[in-house]
């Protein structure tokens, strides 16, 4: 059984102490964390500012979704390409170009004078985010080689990846209330300056896959396939599942991704080598990240609606309301990655985390028109945060653990792709199911009655929460079936896994 020691990875920064371990790795973690937070929070930070941006620029309700969709489409469809570019041309230049480009696109968006200019800026954010995100995760993977330090580093990274959406809601609310919607975009410059300077000074550069070539047919197939898939799910929100613009793009995405999988088994320099996917625990982790992305949508979007529209919270207060969930997630991220998984293994820990999150989501369905935050929302949020903190960081760590250095970028990109596609699936399914629940409740009732309308919105929220609970429950079962007992095993044909 082949093994690759990450301690020998020459991509680690060159400044070392007497024991050959980088003294700057924790600073590098800070840089990576800032960059990851910038990318993740931009999926939600603009959402709160959308009404203000719409009023300022004068675009229609129908066009409003494109402010969110443009970012998601560019980001998801180009992630694997971005990861492979980091492998081929070096993680440091990929990281720096991604940070600088993301900041430039953010400034363009903040200065927008028209709807088209704002959509273009959001798409450019997605393009550079697709280069930045996998470079950041692969840098983390190749910088931390000691098992205990790696666990701590991934607990921080995973907590940021999981809680970034909630942080985006908080920051978006504060900036929109205190300043202007444009600052939800300008604020990225603050993150980018720190990440760029730190990356320039501290990161080493090594082209682990320098001898390989870019798989152009694979790139075209997977980019078109992911674009079609995400666009199809986006159309399900604004059209209908029976619309050709929905099922047509979903079908095209499935065909293109199937063709991509076939081509990867024949390409001389595959974009996504099959050895990356063949390890059972790694594949299980990819699925866990996908399901988490789908289920988390129910928490962030519909609970935001409930807090603002039904409980009368301001945007800032809504963001603050998510902080206990973030705190629980960060605490359990440390516990799960540094204590539970090393001792018990992922087969028990990750399904248990999914089960805890499922219970929290099911409990959240008890909200009503006269419910209070402290009794009907806060305990549930803490439970959900704890459950997701047990799932997300260990899954991300296992998905990239021990991967060969030349595959680090594309493996990291696969993690980000799973999270993004999961979010797109959750967005489409939960929005559709929530709308159907509201319509069913109004059938036979007076839709002009304000109390009836309010109760219909509650029905839509609780339906979304029940389905999110179902996603997490399914994740618990699937994770239990897929993960192996114990730790440190490896499938013989998979990319090597380090035994630490």
What pLDDT, in 10s, does the model give residues 388-406?
989 988 888 888 777 776 7
Residue 245 has pLDDT above 50, yes or no: yes
Q: How confident is the model at residue 7 (pLDDT cuts 50, 70, 90)?
A: very low
Q: How confident is the model at residue 62 (pLDDT cuts 50, 70, 90)?
A: low
Other Cβ atoms less than 10 A from the Cβ of 247: the count is 16
Residue 8 has pLDDT above 80, yes or no: no
List, in sequence order, every residue forming a beta bridge with 22; answer none if it has no partner. Answer: 16
The whole-number average pLDDT for the span 481-487 is 80
pTM (global) more than 0.95: no
For 464, the 3-state DSSP assignment is helix
The whole-number average pLDDT for the span 302-310 is 82
Q: How confident is the model at residue 487 (pLDDT cuts 50, 70, 90)?
A: low
CA angle, 228 as apex, 73 and 252 as ends, to 5°? 175
Burial of 11 (0-12, 13-18, 19+ CB in 10 A): buried
For the record, the structure tokens of 487 come out as 């730790």
Residue 496 confidence (pLDDT) = 46
Residue 13 confidence (pLDDT) = 43
Residue 154 has pLDDT above 70, yes or no: yes
What burial letters (b/e) apply to 141-176, b meaning 16+ CB within 10 Å? bbbbbeeebbbbbbbbbbbbbbbbbbbbbbbbbbbb
Q: How confident is the model at residue 298 (pLDDT cuts 50, 70, 90)?
A: low
The full length of the chain comes to 500
Residue 282 confidence (pLDDT) = 86
The whole-number average pLDDT for the span 43-48 is 74
Whole-number Å distance between alpha carbons of 98 and 413: 14
The whole-number average pLDDT for the span 97-114 is 92
Residue 4 confidence (pLDDT) = 36
The whole-number average pLDDT for the span 336-349 is 88
Q: What is the DSSP letter of 496?
A: P
Task: Name 51's Cβ contacts closer than 8 Å, sequence gap at least 6.
Answer: none
Closest CA to 80 of 249, 270, 230, 259: 270
Burial of 236 (0-12, 13-18, 19+ CB in 10 A): buried
Q: pLDDT of 424-466, one tens digit each?
A: 788 778 888 888 888 888 887 777 778 888 888 888 889 989 9
Q: How confident is the model at residue 490 (pLDDT cuts 50, 70, 90)?
A: very low
The whole-number average pLDDT for the span 272-277 is 78
Name the range with the highest mean pLDDT among 246-255, 450-459, 470-479: 470-479
Residue 170 has pLDDT above 90, yes or no: no
Other Cβ atoms less than 10 A from the Cβ of 479: the count is 26
Q: How confident is the model at residue 11 (pLDDT cuts 50, 70, 90)?
A: very low
Q: What is the DSSP string of 253-275?
A: HHHHHHHHHHHHTT-SS-SS-GG
The whole-number average pLDDT for the span 246-275 is 85
Q: Where are the alpha helices (DSSP H) in 113-269?
A: 115-143, 147-178, 183-202, 216-238, 244-264
The whole-number average pLDDT for the span 360-378 is 88
Closest CA to 349 of 115, 88, 126, 155: 155
Q: Which of 1.20.1250.20, 3.40.190.10, 3.40.30.10, 1.10.150.120 would CATH assign to domain 19-214+271-482?
A: 1.20.1250.20
Residue 36 has pLDDT above 90, yes or no: no
Least confident of 207-221, 259-273, 297-311, 357-371: 207-221
Whole-number Å distance between alpha carbons of 166 and 300: 7
Residue 350 confidence (pLDDT) = 93
Residue 128 has pLDDT above 90, yes or no: yes
Residue 18 confidence (pLDDT) = 35
Residue 98 has pLDDT above 60, yes or no: yes
Residue 144 confidence (pLDDT) = 75
Residue 476 has pLDDT above 90, yes or no: yes
Residue 48 has pLDDT above 60, yes or no: yes
Which residue ranges make up each domain of the chain?
19-214+271-482, 215-270
Closest CA to 86 of 75, 101, 97, 74: 97
Residue 212 confidence (pLDDT) = 60
Whole-number Å distance between alpha carbons of 427 and 258: 23
Whole-number Å distance between alpha carbons of 96 and 365: 44
Least confident of 233-237, 372-376, 490-494: 490-494
Whole-number Å distance between alpha carbons of 12 and 158: 21
Least confident of 73-87, 207-221, 371-385, 436-450: 207-221
Burial of 379 (0-12, 13-18, 19+ CB in 10 A): middle
Residue 358 confidence (pLDDT) = 95
Burial of 262 (0-12, 13-18, 19+ CB in 10 A): exposed
For the record, the structure tokens of 374 come out as 């402290």
């Amino acid at each position: 059984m082949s093994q690759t020691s990450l301690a020998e990875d020459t991509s680690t920064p060159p400044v070392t102490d007497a024991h050959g371990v980088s003294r700057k790795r924790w600073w590098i973690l800070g840089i990576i964390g800032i960059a990851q937070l910038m990318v993740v929070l931009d999926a939600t930070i603009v959402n709160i500012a959308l009404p203000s941006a719409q009023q300022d620029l004068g675009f229609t309700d129908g066009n409003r979704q494109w402010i969110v969709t443009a970012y998601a489409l560019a980001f998801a469809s180009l992630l694997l390409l971005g990861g492979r570019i980091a492998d081929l041309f070096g993680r440091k230049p990929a990281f720096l170009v991604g940070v600088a480009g993301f900041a430039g696109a953010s400034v363009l968006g903040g200065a927008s004078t028209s709807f088209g200019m704002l959509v273009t800026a959001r798409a450019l954010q997605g393009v550079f985010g697709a280069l930045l995100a996998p470079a950041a995760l692969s840098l983390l993977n190749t910088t931390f080689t000691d098992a205990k330090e790696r666990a701590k580093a991934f607990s921080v990274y995973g907590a940021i990846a999981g809680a970034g959406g909630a942080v985006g809601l908080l920051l978006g609310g504060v900036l929109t209330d205190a300043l202007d919607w444009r600052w939800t975009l300008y604020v990225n410059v603050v993150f980018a300056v720190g990440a760029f300077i730190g990356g320039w000074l501290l990161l080493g550069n090594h082209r682990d896959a320098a001898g390989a070539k870019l798989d152009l047919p694979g790139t075209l197939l997977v980019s078109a396939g992911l674009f079609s898939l995400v666009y199809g799910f986006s159309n399900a929100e604004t059209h209908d599942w029976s619309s050709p613009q929905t099922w047509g793009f979903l079908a095209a995405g499935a065909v293109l991704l199937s063709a991509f999988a076939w081509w990867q088994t024949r390409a001389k320099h595959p974009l996504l080598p099959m050895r990356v996917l063949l390890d059972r625990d790694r594949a299980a982790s990819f699925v866990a990240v996908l399901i988490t992305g789908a289920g988390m949508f129910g928490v962030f979007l519909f609970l935001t609606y409930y807090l603002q529209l039904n409980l009368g919270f301001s945007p800032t207060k809504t963001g603050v309301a998510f902080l206990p969930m973030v705190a629980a997630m960060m605490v359990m991220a440390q516990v799960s990655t540094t204590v539970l998984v090393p001792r018990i293994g992922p087969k028990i820990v990750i399904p248990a985390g999914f089960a805890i999150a499922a219970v929290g989501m099911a409990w959240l369905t008890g909200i009503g028109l006269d419910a209070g935050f402290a009794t009907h929302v806060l305990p549930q949020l803490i439970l959900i945060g704890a459950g997701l903190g047990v799932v997300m960081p260990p899954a991300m760590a296992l998905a990239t653990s021990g991967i060969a250095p030349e595959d680090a970028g594309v493996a990291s990109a696969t993690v980000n792709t799973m999270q993004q596609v999961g979010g797109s699936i959750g967005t489409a399914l939960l929005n559709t199911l929530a709308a159907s629940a509201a319509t069913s409740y109004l059938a036979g009732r007076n839709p002009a009655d304000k109390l009836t309308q309010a109760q219909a919105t509650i029905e839509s929220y609780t339906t979304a929460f029940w389905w999110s609970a179902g996603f997490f429950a399914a994740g618990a079962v699937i994770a239990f079936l897929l993960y192996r007992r114990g730790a440190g095993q490896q499938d013989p044909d998979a990319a090597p896994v380090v035994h630490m």
